[in-house]
Amino acid sequence: MKKNVMYAVAASLVFAVTGCANVDKNYAFVVDQEQLDQLENSQRKQRNVGHVVWVNPPLKKVEVAKVAAANPSSL
C-alpha cells in the first residue's frame, strides 16, 4: 500500500513538473511599461509615496512577432 502511494506521488510530481515546462513559444514576457509609468506617476503626484525600486517589474505577455517588430535586435 505504501509503495503504491509513493508511485502515485512520484507520477503526479513528474506530470506537474513537465506540465510547467511546456510554454507556448509564440509568446514572450516583456516589462509592462504602461503599468510602470502609471505607478511612477503616482509617486510624483503624492508626497507620501517613497522611492520605488523594482526588484521584479510588472510583466505582460505579448506575441513574439510584436516584440520582433518593435525591437528587431531583441531576438
The three-class DSSP label of residue 68 is helix
Residues 6+ apart with CB under 8 A from 64: 25, 26, 27, 28, 75
CB neighbour class for 29 (10 Å; exposed up to 12, middle 13-18, buried from 19)? exposed
In this prediction, residue 18 carries a pLDDT of 67
Secondary structure letter of residue 70 according to DSSP? H
For every one of its 75 residues, what pLDDT tens digit does the chain have, with 9 covering 90 and above? 777 888 888 877 777 766 655 556 788 888 888 888 887 776 667 777 666 677 888 888 888 876 667 666 655
